[in-house]
Amino acid sequence: MTSILRRRTRPQPLVLATTIASALVMLACTAPPAALTPATLAPADRAALADSVRAFAAGMVATIDSHNVDGFIAHHLDGPDFAWATYGAMTPLDSHLVSMRAYFPSDAGKNVRFRLGESKVYVIDRDAAALTGVIHSTNVDAGGNPTTGHEVWSIVVHRIDGAWRVVQAHESYPRAPAPG
């Protein structure tokens, strides 16, 4: 009797293979959790969210254009997961606060102006998006000579308590021309 029970409880290779294959097919046919799929938004909703993110970014640039460093930094969510990438390094938000507070009152930064140029928004869902845009700058030196420039700026924003906040930022600047 023991040998009969043992034989019946031991899985047969064909039965085991069929069971595993069936489980894999069922797993492959089930929908992934909602958290892993992109949000399905109507085109009008997607456009409105993109406009909202673009307006948020333009407001950020207007804030730094007025040299309001604390206001600009307040648009960011500080914390262990925040990253600001620039010049080949990732730096914490407080480092930018310190450097910006020193830069704008200085001779090098007191006359610099900014404006947001062309930008593209990728809506992830109702509460998350990414924007990449060009920030144009003009600085006038002590002799009245303007210098213009630009950077490409990317931000990932998350809506928290009804307000957009930057959770990741990246800046890149054009390469300096090779010496003549």
Question: What range defines the domain where residue 62 resides?
Answer: 39-172
Q: Helix, strand, coil proportions of the chain in percent (round to 5)? A: 40, 35, 30
Q: What is the CATH number of the domain that holds 87?
A: 3.10.450.50
Asked whether residue 3 is domain-assigned, the answer is no
pLDDT digits (tens, 9 = 90+) for 163-177: 999 999 999 988 766
Asked whether residue 4 is domain-assigned, the answer is no
Cα-based distances in Å from 175 to 89, 146, 149, 152: 16, 20, 11, 12
Residue 56 scores a pLDDT above 60: yes
Asked whether residue 11 is domain-assigned, the answer is no
Asked whether residue 179 is domain-assigned, the answer is no
Q: What's the token pair of residue 52?
A: 């909202």
Asked whether residue 153 is domain-assigned, the answer is yes
Please report the pLDDT score of residue 61 as a whole number.
97
> How many distinct structural domains can be found in the chain?
1
Asked whether residue 18 is domain-assigned, the answer is no
Asked whether residue 7 is domain-assigned, the answer is no
Asked whether residue 24 is domain-assigned, the answer is no
